Amino acid sequence: MNSTRLGSRFASLLPILATLVLFTSGCSMTAKDTKGASTASSDVADAAIERYIRTHPEVIEQSLQAMEVKREADQKERQKVTLKTKQDELLHDPLSPVSGNPKGEITVVEFYDYRCGFCKRAAPAVTELQKVDPRVRVVYKDFPILGEPSELAAKAALASYAQGKHQAFHEALLESHVDVTKESILKIATKVGLDAKRLEADMADPKWKGVIAKNRALARELGISGTPGFIVGNELVPGALDLNGLKELIARAGQGK
């Protein structure tokens, strides 16, 4: 029996229960008897409800499932509204690194953490997307959620933008599987052609902490709690996407023609 029929069946029992309560309480009562009758009525109804639930425990499960579906729908609706109001912050923050076609008509925003295994898995697809579709512009939102080493890597990546090698450094950090330390970060920086000494000095700039805090606040408003998270237009998709997944996201946003 589905939840609609069970709910209807339960609802149909209520008038019967009410009649039983009145019958067992007597047809005529004085003001003095009202309180006792009300208590008796409540006890009878409670007992009937309990018996029904014990006989049909699936009603509870189905109700919880329906509540969860509604909660998710409400969250997605709030997310859409927030995405519309945060477009400028998502797309045009001057301190968010950009790669691909700077004037591209399609913008993919990614929230990520350099120590996140799923971000590492999705990284080749993001790189390939920029190669196969010259319309794509990628905006990087550093969202370090896996501790101090993640934040250190984020500061380094943000600081590297000034030297014009952010994308190469970004991809190298995501390809790396060594422990994230200042020494390993600077070694990777040297390999991609960055001035490691300059980068180390630039990493100390307190403004990067502000950028990260701003990204965290934005993620919180959008309901992003993990990485990676991809945004195109007014749609947000959490989790690692392959190349086809990214293309589908673009198509659903109405920008895949």
State the average pLDDT over residues 75-89.
82
Alpha helices by DSSP H, listed for 56-195, are 58-85, 87-91, 117-132, 148-160, 166-175, 182-191
Q: Cα 66 to chain center, whole Å?
A: 20
Give residues with Cβ within 8 angstroms of 215, minimum separation 6. Answer: 96, 111, 141, 142, 143
Q: Cα 41 to chain center, whole Å?
A: 47
Instruction: Dump pLDDT digits (tens) for 30-39.
Output: 445 555 656 7
State the average pLDDT over residues 6-22.
46
pTM: 0.72
Position 9 pLDDT exceeds 50: no
Question: How would residue 86 be classed by pLDDT, with cut points 50, 70 and 90?
Answer: very high
Whose tokens are 């052609």? That residue is 193
What is the rounded distance in angstroms from the CA atom of residue 112 to the CA atom of residue 157?
12
Instruction: Dump pLDDT digits (tens) for 131-163.
Output: 999 999 999 999 999 999 999 999 999 999 999
State the average pLDDT over residues 88-105.
95
Task: Of 31-35, 96-100, 237-241, give the lowest mean pLDDT range.
Answer: 31-35
Per-residue model confidence (pLDDT) at position 75: 66
Position 92 pLDDT exceeds 90: yes
Superfamily in which the 87-252 domain is placed by CATH: Glutaredoxin (3.40.30.10)
Give residues with Cβ within 8 angstroms of 209, minimum separation 6. Answer: 155
Per-residue model confidence (pLDDT) at position 256: 43
Please tell me whether residue 16 adopts helix, strand or coil conformation.
helix
Per-residue model confidence (pLDDT) at position 36: 61
Question: How would residue 69 be classed by pLDDT, with cut points 50, 70 and 90?
Answer: confident
- Looking at this protein, which amino acid is placed at residue 142? D
Position 235 pLDDT exceeds 70: yes
Choice between 225 and 71, residue whose per-residue pLDDT is larger? 225
Q: Give the relative orientation of helices 148-160 and 166-175 as an angle to the nearest 10 degrees.
A: 150
What is the rounded distance in angstroms from the CA atom of residue 84 to the CA atom of residue 234?
6
Average pLDDT over the chain reads 85
Partner residues linked to 42 by β-bridges: none
Residues 241/125, Cβ–Cβ less than 8 Å: yes
Residues 12/52, Cβ–Cβ less than 8 Å: no
Give the torsion sign (CA, 218, 221, 222, 225).
positive
What is the rounded distance in angstroms from the CA atom of residue 121 to the CA atom of residue 102?
24
Listed in order, the ranges of the chain carrying CATH 3.40.30.10 are 87-252
Choice between 178 and 24, residue whose per-residue pLDDT is larger? 178
Position 16 pLDDT exceeds 50: no
Q: DSSP secondary-structure letter at 140?
A: E
Position 228 pLDDT exceeds 50: yes
Q: How many CB atoms lie within 10 A of CB 94?
A: 5
